Structure formats: structure tokens, C-alpha cells
Amino acid sequence: MIVPCIDLMDGKVVQLVQGQKKALEGGTPQEMLARFAAFPEIQVIDLDAALGRGSNGAIVEFLAARAKARVGGGVRTVERAAALVAQGAWKVIVGTAAFGAAGVNAPFLEALARRIGRERVMVALDTREGKIVVKGWQESTALRAEDILRELEPHCAGLLCTYVDREGMLEGTDLDWFRRLRASTTLAITAAGGITTLDEARELQRMGVDAALGMAIYSGRLRLDELAALGG
């Protein structure tokens, strides 16, 4: 499945390079919903909330009420996740709060699954230089995605695995990394970070991995009609 991304910052739809430098702006949220109407799900990330410097809550609520949306960014409490579900979020993506100093934050994930249902929980495994990064990709941990997949399986229904090293750079992604992840867990996996060509999207599809696409769509490198023809 292809999952188009709507990333929000300062009240606008944006695309960043490696989570830091703004590269471009998209249309209004209403325009992006119309553009992505052919796809079964979208991904909505509140970048300001992820960075701890504000919120685009009204826009998130607008989008979640009108599309089957996976929503993330700054979801660090069970209450916040529950509020997103109440607003219409199909699934909730958690990153920073899913990890502690010693590894997986199992008590938080258990409480989250009890509150909103395990089937709605996605854990973000955002990885740079082989290590999971948190707090809007500003801090690195000692954890490797491959090492903790089995620990996460009881607590969530899917993983958002972002190869941050290539995020927004349109230089291609690391398909071998996604193959290793796919071989290591039965959880649903969504790949992100540097996916640039239809061949990459097709290869991920053959692996049984969804593709979350942002920069390649917004820059025009990939056409929405061709992506939709892959099956959503």
C-alpha cells in the first residue's frame, strides 16, 4: 500500500530534509486531501508537536475527521493518543514515548494498548546511522530497530520505519535494511525515508512493506496516478 504523507509545521503542509531544513510547502490541507483521495490511507505528522514547540491540532483534527489517517507527532501520553482517536484518527503513531533509557517503554505501550486498542497503535522506529532517534529526530538512542522488534510485537499492530539518513533527499532508500526488518517480525511495516522511484515502491510492495511517501510526491518525482495504479 502507498501512504501519502501530510507533514505539518507552523500551520502549513511542508516537507523537510532529514527532519530539519524545510525544502518546500504543499497546498492547503483541503487541497492535499483532494489530491490524495484515491489512496486508502494517509499519514499525518504534526512536526511542531514532535519538536515540542507547538501544535497544529486544529488541522490534525480536520484531516482525521475526513480521511483514514495515521496520526503522529508529539504523542507522548495515553491521553493525547485517546484524544486523537476521539477526533477520528484511524491509527496513532508513537515514537519518543515508546522508548526509555533502558529500551522499550513497555508500561507505556501496555497502557496505550489498553486505552485505544493494540490494533490502533503504530510505533515509529526512526533510525539514523543505525540507531533509533527520538524527540523529533533530535536525540539519538543506543537502540537498533532490528534488536527490539520482538519486544514491540505484543504492544502494537504496526511499525513506521523511517530511514532518516536519506529522508527528504531523493537519493533512494536502503532496501536491504527494510528486507532485514521484514524478515525479523510479523508486524505490519511501513517504510519511509528516501523512497524516490517506482521501482523502489514496487520492491517494497513485493516484500510486503507499505511505503509512506512525501518528498517524491511533493517534488513531482513520482506521479500520483502511477502510485495509485500500484494498488493504493
In whole angstroms, give the CA distance from residue 189 to residue 168: 19
Which candidate in 7, 46, 48, 210 is catalytic? 7
Q: 10, 126, 165, 225: which is the annotated catalytic residue?
A: 126
* Pairing state between β 121-128 and 69-72: unpaired
* CB of 47 closer than 8 Å to CB of 9: yes
Query: Is residue 165 among the annotated active site residues?
Result: no
> Of 98, 134, 175, which is closest to residue 19 (Cα–Cα)?
134
CA 199 to chain centre: 21
CB 23 within 8 A of CB 15: yes
Q: How far apart are CA 194 and CA 172, in angstroms?
A: 5
Q: Is 7 a catalytic residue?
A: yes
- Gyration radius of the chain's alpha carbons: 16
Q: Report how far residue 81's alpha carbon sits from residue 112's, in angstroms, rounded to the nearest whole number.
A: 8
Residues with catalytic function: 7, 126
